[in-house]
A = this chain, B = another copy of it.
Amino acid sequence: MYRTHTCGQLRITDTGTTVTLAGWVQRTRKMGGMTFVDLRDRYGITQLVFNEEQNAELCDEANKLGREYVIQVTGTVNERYNKNKNLPTGDIEIIVDKLNILNSSDTPPFTIEDNSDGGDDLRMKYRYLDLRRQCVRQNLELRHRMCIEVRNYLSNLGFLEIETPILIGSTPEGARDFVVPSRMNPGQFYALPQSPQTLKQLLMVAGIDRYFQIAKCFRDEDLRADRQPEFTQIDCEMSFVNQEDIIQTFEGMAKHLFKSLRGIELNEPFLRLPWADAMRRFGSDKPDMRFGMEFIELKSETENFFADKAGFAVFDDAKYVGGIVAEGCAVYTRKQIDQLTDFVKRPQVGAKGLVYARVQEDGSVKSSVDKFYTPEQLIAMKEKMQAKPGDLILILSGEDAMKTRKQLCELRLEMGERLGLRDKNKFALLWVTEFPMFEWSDEEQRLMAMHHPFTHPMEEDIPMLDTNPAAVRADAYDMVCNGVEVGGGSIRIHDPKLQAKMFEILGFTPEKAQEQFGFLMNAFKFGAPPHGGLAYGLDRWVSLFAGLDSIRDCIAFPKNNSGRDIMLDAPSAIDQKQLDELDLIIKEN
């Protein structure tokens, strides 16, 4: 036993007790004849006191302690004269009479404080020092607690956590696989799972009934911001259920997690929004519902507000015109509006321009299109937009309704940000449902599964598979929180005939389907139950609960955007002997 207490444990009621603590030297301060040392461990910080007058030799030793030295001290708990209200241990200090240096430390390359001076690369290279910072460690603690809560919640509902293998077969559908050469089967490769999707479906065929797994998944993608080559999913599947059963179960889990981890009671049922409505009203399949600013359409499949009032070619030639109302933003300066115009014209957003209209205090409208429309037309427009005096109307238009909606969505989020409506401590959850079954791929010149090829179509849309597959909706659902898709899933196909038809629509020959998914299609011949499920992105969900901007900080040892672990310096070259054993040659470029 190196210690009797942790550095976060002692209180005023412990005064007079002899204790032994161990931890890291956070900082030392010399004041008069006293040396103060802040001793830190995972649990907190305790102040140590060395008195030169009482023990000069010991105090001398303390003065030599460097930052991050590991020490063990024995002493007496004493009430502090200057109490520190910011620390749970701030009422006491330890009058030290024994000091044992357990390990020294080189000077760390950055300060071990919440506000560190370390840049991202340095922090990642010395991640073991970065993790000593309370603000980083707390994310891992939250992640741990979330996993414990998820496991106990699902286990209590009869779900079994079942480990599925990491070394499986490669299936080229979907993202790119990481592959693992097999030494015992030369020329052959395992693949790392992109998700346990097919395996959990096999578990349903196996009668497991309720399965979950907090599972590592792997995708060899070019890493956009905030993607990791390995990530973690809360992966779930149930048998003999329909969409409603799954939504009930996992909405319950979400509410439980908010309550137990954040103390937030979400009493109302989550909103459910069909995909088409979400796109129409918010331009997104993952709308941020912490604020309104819904789209109002002036021209679309169903609207044509400016019809017969033509004059402005940009609107007249557009397939879609729609806008949002920024409350109280009529005061925006020309410069601020120019910034917004620049924002929507950035290549990442891609709009051609921005039309704005300020609603004056007297109800009249001052807009960037005054010369094309009469004041009456603009007032009618304002009314259509439900804008009040003092509001700013922002309008986008374009050839392609869906593209323009997505641009308007970016503008809406930007305005939400500017107006402080995207509060990290507020959570707005909803289910987006009725996704399209397929999306057209220009690259592949074929319909692709929007979710994956095992998704069940909505029962009433099945006849359209033959006549108009592009219009078929999927029995699929995403859980969205604050504009982030935190989870999603679907009812799966359990009928081998329907599955075969699906592969046909997706352009698989029966041979190709058999080659890639034969193991699953064969299994479905032996009594597959109706089933469905969903998966949460654990990293994303922890980030959301922790209020992080990036998933990186809730992962102990993340990789950078080149897929490198710069602490371990991985990946790296391997020995020729290893390559030989695997019968592999690296191509010279």
Q: Give A256 Cβ to nearest chain B Cβ, in Å.
A: 16
Q: Would you give the 0/1 interface string for A209-226, flagging 1 where the beta carbon is closer than 8 Å to chain B?
A: 110000010101011000
Residues of B within 8 A of A541 (CB): none
Do the beta carbons of A202 and B128 come within 8 Å of each other?
Answer: yes
A87-95, A178-186, A296-304, A352-360 - interface stretch? A178-186
Contacts A179-B582, A527-B24 given; indicate if A170 touches B574 (C-beta within 8 A): yes
- A127, A163, A168, A229 pick with most chain B CB within 10 angstroms: A163
Contacts A530-B2, A583-B587 given; indicate if A131 touches B573 (C-beta within 8 A): no
Bound-state CA distance A140–B24 (Å) is 43
Q: Give A134 Cβ to nearest chain B Cβ, in Å.
A: 10
- Flag whether A3 is at the interface (Cβ < 8 A): yes
Do the beta carbons of A148 and B140 come within 8 Å of each other?
Answer: no
Q: Would you give the 0/1 interface string for A162-180, flagging 1 where the beta carbon is closer than 8 Å to chain B?
A: 1111111110100011111
- Flag whether A108 is at the interface (Cβ < 8 A): yes
Contacts A188-B571, A207-B132, A570-B168 given; indicate if A199 touches B557 (C-beta within 8 A): yes
Bound-state CA distance A148–B207 (Å) is 21
A240-248, A425-433, A482-490 - interface stretch? A240-248
A55-63, A283-291, A321-329, A559-567 - interface stretch? A559-567
- Flag whether A114 is at the interface (Cβ < 8 A): no
- A3, A22, A578 pick with most chain B CB within 10 angstroms: A578
Do the beta carbons of B129 and A206 come within 8 Å of each other?
Answer: yes
Q: How many copies does the complex hold?
A: 2
Bound-state CA distance A177–B572 (Å) is 13
Do the beta carbons of A574 and B189 come within 8 Å of each other?
Answer: yes
Q: Would you give the 0/1 interface string for A331-368, flagging 1 where the beta carbon is closer than 8 Å to chain B?
A: 00000000000000000000000000000000000000
Do the beta carbons of B140 and A160 come within 8 Å of each other?
Answer: yes
Additional A-B contact list (13), CB under 8 Å, known A144-B161, A165-B556: A41-B209, A42-B209, A103-B495, A165-B559, A166-B230, A169-B570, A169-B572, A178-B180, A185-B571, A188-B573, A189-B573, A199-B556, A199-B557
> Which residues of chain A have a CB within 8 Å of any CB of chain B?
1-3, 6, 22, 24, 40-43, 68-70, 72, 102-106, 108, 126-132, 137, 140-141, 143-144, 147-148, 151-152, 155, 160-170, 172, 176-192, 199, 202-203, 205-210, 216, 218, 220, 222-223, 229-230, 232, 240-242, 244-245, 494-495, 519, 523, 525-530, 555-557, 559, 562-565, 567-575, 578, 581-587, 589
